[in-house]
Structure 1
């Protein structure tokens, strides 16, 4: 003779199974969402430089991934975030100064937060890679959102005082989510 299954046991099993499935599906929504932004860089007047710069917030800072082309072969260039998200002027002045939310705390030789570092173009004029920027974020006072990211003609000198640009802009893009 077969065993008889109690209706309450079946109901309890169905409720438990459905609850488990719902909870498993909800964990994807409960995980922290990755903070991400990007800037599509377009050439400045007289330049062929263009590409994409992606910003992803990590626990150790913002990972800045770049994929650029049209740079002079075998050359070094400053990659900087500027105060204003405006790439309309020919000389790059509409982007403002290099982003420095802690400027009042700077001492001679300190690096400005928006000076992300120098990048290198290969023999084909292509620069790809990433930089971790520990002093910026994608929200709050150190946020780079709605600011301009600029690739400059020259490499930057992080120890120069006062802080200055690194030559004319080759490409510029506004950082957006």
Structure 2
């Protein structure tokens, strides 16, 4: 009798378990896409030209369609100096003239950066060297890119030139900034 009672109990439990409603559990997967901004960077060393001791470093950093250039320069005469982007990355000549003229892909007159009457994309501007001959300049713009292939914006294959004097922003085509005292090709 004990066997039958145990058997009936087991059968009852099995039937009640089968009668229970099956619940479906849905698991949804969520894909989260995080966009990482690509940062492009070019760091170049300035080399002395025109029998000077001018040197330094220039860093170009592109992020979110904006390029920031920061130049730290030493070995200058105290006072105001011009800095420009020139059309070729060739700094092989002793006076820096192998770099060509100012980079001017849009055919504008020489002028001050942001001037309504026009300016070269290479017309960065002037900076001050202190009494020890050290100077810095920084500019941020969406007018440049690093390696994007747009001939009117791409600074790769160009050069940075530091001049002995200040840019007057009016003399054509170069601003009468004097000798080229330092040069570096903008290459990756």
* TM-score class normalised by the smaller sequence: 0.7 to 0.9
Q: Please, which moves more after superposition, 132-141 or 120-129? A: 132-141
Superposed CA RMSD in Å reads: 2.7
CA contact (8 A) 2:110 2:120 kept: no
The structure with the greater share of residues assigned to helix is 1
Q: Give 1:87 deviation, angstroms.
A: 0.5
CA contact (8 A) 1:112 1:163 kept: no
CA contact (8 A) 2:89 2:186 kept: yes
Displacement over 3 Å in runs of 4+: 58-61, 105-109, 161-165
Q: Are residues 1:38 and 2:46 paired? A: no
Gaps of 5+ in 2: 1-24, 112-116
Q: 1:79 to 1:41 in 2, by over 3 A?
A: same
Q: 1:126 to 1:101 in 2, by over 3 A?
A: same
Task: Give TM-score scaled by structure 2 length.
Answer: 0.71
Distance of 2:162 and 2:109 partners within structure 1: 23
Q: 1:69 to 1:106 in 2, by over 3 A?
A: closer
1:1-177 to 2 correspondence within 5 Å? 27=34, 30-58=35-63, 61-73=66-78, 75-103=79-107, 105-106=108-109, 109-138=117-146, 139=148, 140-141=150-151, 142-164=153-175, 166-177=177-188
Number of residue pairs aligned between Structure 1 and Structure 2 = 156
Distance of 1:92 and 1:165 partners within structure 2: 15
Residue 83 of structure 2 aligns to a residue in which SS?
strand
Give the greater-gyration-radius structure (CA): 2
Q: Give 1:59 deviation, angstroms.
A: 5.1
Gaps of 5+ in 1: 1-8
Task: Give the aligned partner of residue 5 of structure 1.
Answer: none
